[in-house]
Amino acid sequence: MPKHSYVYKALNRTVGKALHRYDMISDGDRILVGVSGGKDSLAMMWLLNERRTRIPIDYHLLAVYVDLGFPDGFGAALKSYADTCGYTMRIAYTDYGIVSHGPENRENPCFLCSRLRRKRLFEIAAETGCNKIALGHNKDDIIETVFINMCYAGEISTMVPRQSIFGGEFDIIRPLAYSDEDSIRRFAKECAFPDFMNPCPSAKSSKRLEIKRVLQRLYQRNKKIKGNIFRSLSHVRSEYMLKPDK
């Protein structure tokens, strides 16, 4: 494993920054790690697991994959990979993907699917005594969410690195909040993570993918744009915003 590589050190540094700035992990935490099979969640699980071996904080990790019920799913293969890594993993088999793509919900299947998956993670966290849920959203995801919400919800908001929900019953944490997608991709390649093919029929036509393509064109023109957008999320000048509608 690449514990001494530049790629690992750079990614570990941004993860450490997010963990410390938002006080994400405490001694005795039981953390449900949402694993999708993609590079982000696999990198997050690897880094959180490795971190346990060298810091004086004791915490427990439970990896959970919510299988959406599509044909040619990879739940069994992911579980087998997790076992070889020594991870404790649970597969939750559902029909959420099929339901979300039903004829009565063609306009926005991703919204319903995401909502159902999140609900199942909350249920499993409660069943297993987990007080925190780690999700693999990275810096690019946070920026893209701002534009998705502006374009499709008419509001300026995004995902936050740490969020308390249900009156403090759970905390959602995002350890990759300060990590660039490119850094995660290089780390995944260095670690030789398996490539699990997403069977979702909307994977290549989502609103997020549309926004990602627009932003990529901006980033190619000026390398400072991504960093400036991200910094702007913590430098909001409210006196220069419009008054809310009554």
Query: How high is the pLDDT of residue 52?
Result: 93
Q: Hey, CA dihedral for 22, 28, 29, 33, is it positive or negative?
A: positive
Judge whether 240 lies within some domain: no
pTM of the full structure: 0.93
What CATH number does residue 225 fall under? 3.40.50.620
- Overall number of domains in the chain: 1
Is residue 243 one of the residues assigned to a domain?
Answer: no
The reply to whether 162 falls in a domain is yes
Domain assignment present for 106: yes
Find, among 203, 4, 232, 15, the residue nearest to 110 by Cα: 203
In a domain, 158, yes or no: yes
Is residue 123 in a domain? yes
1 within a domain of the structure (yes/no): no
Q: What residue numbers bound the domain in which 230 lies?
A: 6-235
Q: What is the DSSP letter of 54?
A: T
Closest listed residue to residue 35, CA positions, set 124, 127, 110: 124
d(C-alpha 13, C-alpha 18), whole Å: 9
Asked if 144 contacts 158 with a C-beta cutoff of 8 angstroms, the reply is no
> Do the domain assignments include residue 242?
no
Give me the pLDDT at residue 2, please.
Answer: 66
Residue 239's CB is within 10 A of a number of other CB atoms, namely 5
| DSSP assigned state of 175 | T
Tell me what pLDDT residue 48 has: 98
pLDDT in tens, the chain (246 residues): 566 789 999 999 999 999 999 999 999 999 999 999 999 999 999 999 999 999 999 999 999 999 988 888 899 999 999 999 999 999 999 988 888 888 776 667 888 888 999 999 999 999 999 999 999 999 999 999 999 999 999 999 999 999 999 999 999 999 999 999 999 999 999 999 998 988 887 777 788 899 999 999 999 999 999 999 999 999 999 999 998 887
